[in-house]
Structure 1
Amino acid sequence: MRILLLSALILSVSACTWVPIESSGKTVRVLPAGPAPSGCQSKGEVVVTVKSKVGFYNRNPLRVQEELETLARNEAPSAGANAVQASGLPADGSQRFLAFQCPPR
């Protein structure tokens, strides 16, 4: 019974960390890793963080990465950017993204 209650608590707490995409972030592209995109102007860097652990429970790394990308997309317009590109792998729930203003596709 104790294990069942603990599992339910962990699942409910981890569900609370879901990050919704904001309307301004919907137009921001996530560029693939690699060299800086040609024709795009650098607008700096965006650093985002989410919970990667809840207590002793490690959250699904794919879910964490998805939330980090969503947060980066949400933050990009405030930097004058319409595209983001991961500049490294996520570490402890944090990730750096390069922000770019790219011509429309």
Structure 2
Amino acid sequence: MRILILSAALLAGTAACTWVPIEAGGKAVRVLPAGPVAPGCVAKGEIVVTVKNKVGFYNRNPLRVQEELETLARNEAPSAGANAVQALAPPADGSQRYSAWQCPPR
């Protein structure tokens, strides 16, 4: 019983944590809303990111998973020559596709 309580406490504590930190290059990357992209933006390709959406039998908070996917996409954008990302579809099974864009400064 004691192990079960300790395991539950550990799992609850890690559920609120963000496991994906934003990197220096990712901080400068904008997240574009759904819809048409602003004039002057040039497509740089697609970024596919994945995180754990389950830990054992526990389903992680979908908003936290989505936040981590967005952070990963922002971290990957500079290596694609992009300064903006836009989700192409909602997250599915811990994975999400983004389009990468190089946009003029705001």
TM-score by length of 2: 0.90
Amino acid at match of 1:56: F
Secondary structure of 1:70's aligned partner: helix
Q: Which residue of 2 aligns with 1:104?
A: 105
Supply the AA of the counterpart residue of 1:9. L
Q: What does 1:16-35 correspond to in 2, within 5 Å?
A: 18-35=19-36
**Alignment correspondent of 1:84:** 85
* 2:6 paired residue number: 5
| Corresponding position of 1:57 | 58
Letter in 1 for 2:32: L
1:16 Cα offset (Å): 6.9
The DSSP-based 3-state class of the residue aligned with 1:96 is: strand
Unaligned runs of 5+ residues in structure 2 are none
Q: Which runs of 5+ in 1 are unaligned?
A: none
Deviation at 1:11, TM superposition (A): 3.2
Give the C-alpha shift of residue 4 in structure 1. Answer: 1.3
Distance in 1, matches of 2:67 and 2:39, equals: 25
